[in-house]
């Protein structure tokens, strides 16, 4: 599959511009520095003025970190998703929400997949973590239990992770791409736990509601180190 750029309508371009400008402004003091600097590094090919052309984005991404975008029709089986991650390919849809539904999404659209996810793949530590998660998913693809643990880890980091950095900052794409959720994480009722991989892999999540529990990561290095340790435990258990 590939992006059919000529099929985007005037409304699509307007939606993209509206979402991009509104969220860039909203994230200024809430997003982690790594996300903001990666976004700025991509600014020639990822900006409010135009829906991004995946070929151009891929050129820049691939040159810097080896990651590329893989166009998918929507949600794909988890095994396929991890297999793509292990090959440094991140899935994206190509459709965009309508102007009438700026803040309502049943499934991730291109704004979530590209604006939310893609910039941090310019960061090597973050990308290494995502690739390693994919490799573990491939290695243990026969274990439903391990795949569930990995999905939870993915959820509470890549989708909804927070980073400790002069306060609580956002790095998870589910928050980064959501105007509403970017603001609700700072409400008093939100529970923010310190990053703990053992707690995360045993914590269920609900993808149909705004989250009420998040995990605060000390650094991206910590993310990779925790995943490495988790992999070593899995390998030693598998060898018993
Ligand atoms: Fe996502």
Ligand 1 centroid to Cα of residue 239, in Å, is 33
Ligand 1 centroid to Cα of residue 159, in Å, is 5
Provide the whole-model pTM: 0.95
Ligand 1 centroid to Cα of residue 173, in Å, is 6
Please, which residues bridge with residue 31 across strands? Answer: 170
Ligand 1 centroid to Cα of residue 5, in Å, is 22
Ligand 1 centroid to Cα of residue 1, in Å, is 19
Ligand 1 centroid to Cα of residue 228, in Å, is 23
Ligand 1 centroid to Cα of residue 113, in Å, is 6
Q: What is the mean pLDDT of residues 133-162?
A: 96
CATH of the domain at 219: 1.10.800.10
Q: Which two tokens stand for residue 36?
A: 């903001």
Q: What is the pLDDT, as a whole number, of residue 153?
A: 97
Tally of structural domains, the chain: 1
Please, which residues bridge with residue 91 across strands? Answer: 70
Distance CA 240, CA 237 (A): 5
What per-residue string of b and e applies to 47-77 under the rule 16 or more CB within 10 Å gives b?
bbeebbebeebbeebeebbebbbbebeeeee
Per-residue pLDDT band for 9 (boundaries 50, 70, 90) equals: very high
Ligand 1 centroid to Cα of residue 75, in Å, is 10
Ligand 1 centroid to Cα of residue 238, in Å, is 30
What tens digit of pLDDT does each residue of 48-78 get? 999 999 999 999 999 999 999 999 988 899 9
What tens digit of pLDDT does each residue of 100-132 get? 999 878 889 999 999 999 999 999 999 999 999
Ligand 1 centroid to Cα of residue 43, in Å, is 21
Residue with tokens 């994230």: 27
Ligand 1 centroid to Cα of residue 120, in Å, is 12
Please state, in angstroms and as integers, the Cα–Cα distance from residue 78 to each residue in 137, 147, 191, following that order: 9, 8, 28
Ligand 1 centroid to Cα of residue 186, in Å, is 21
The DSSP letter of residue 159 is I
Closest CA to 27 of 173, 126, 221, 125: 173
What per-residue string of b and e applies to 163-187 under the rule 16 or more CB within 10 Å gives b?
bbbeebbbbbbbbbbbeebbeebee
Q: Residues 190, 194, 196, 199: is their CA dihedral positive or negative?
A: negative
Q: Which domain holds residue 147?
A: 5-239
Ligand 1 centroid to Cα of residue 233, in Å, is 27
| pLDDT at residue 190 tops 80 | yes
Ligand 1 centroid to Cα of residue 76, in Å, is 12
Q: What is the pLDDT, as a whole number, of residue 240?
A: 65
Distance CA 152, CA 155 (A): 5
Per-residue pLDDT band for 238 (boundaries 50, 70, 90) equals: confident
Percentage with pLDDT > 70 across the chain: 100
Ligand 1 centroid to Cα of residue 236, in Å, is 31
Ligand 1 centroid to Cα of residue 177, in Å, is 9
Q: What is the mean pLDDT of residues 192-220?
A: 92
């Amino acid at each position: 599959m590939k992006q059919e750029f000529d099929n985007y309508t005037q409304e699509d371009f307007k939606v993209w511009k509206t979402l991009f400008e509104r969220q860039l402004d909203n994230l200024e003091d809430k997003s982690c520095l790594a996300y903001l600097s990666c976004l700025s590094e991509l600014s020639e090919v990822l900006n409010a003025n135009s829906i991004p052309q995946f070929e151009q984005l891929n050129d820049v991404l691939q040159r810097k970190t080896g990651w590329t975008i893989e166009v998918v029709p929507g949600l794909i089986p988890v095994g396929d998703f991890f297999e793509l991650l292990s090959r440094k390919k991140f899935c994206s849809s190509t459709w965009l929400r309508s102007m009438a539904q700026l803040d309502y999404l049943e499934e991730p659209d291109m704004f979530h997949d590209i604006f939310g996810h893609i910039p941090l793949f310019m960061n090597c530590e973050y990308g290494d973590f995502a690739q390693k998660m994919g490799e573990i998913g491939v290695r243990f693809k026969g274990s439903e239990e391990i795949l569930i643990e990995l999905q939870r880890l993915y959820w509470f980091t890549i989708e909804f992770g927070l980073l400790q950095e002069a306060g609580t900052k956002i790095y998870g794409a589910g928050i980064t791409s959501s105007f509403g959720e970017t603001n609700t994480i700072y409400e008093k009722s939100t529970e923010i736990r310190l990053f703990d991989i053992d707690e995360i892999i045993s914590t269920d999540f609900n993808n149909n509601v705004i989250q009420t529990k998040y995990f605060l990561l000390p650094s991206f290095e910590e993310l990779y180190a925790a995943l490495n340790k988790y992999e070593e435990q899995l390998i030693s258990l598998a060898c018993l």
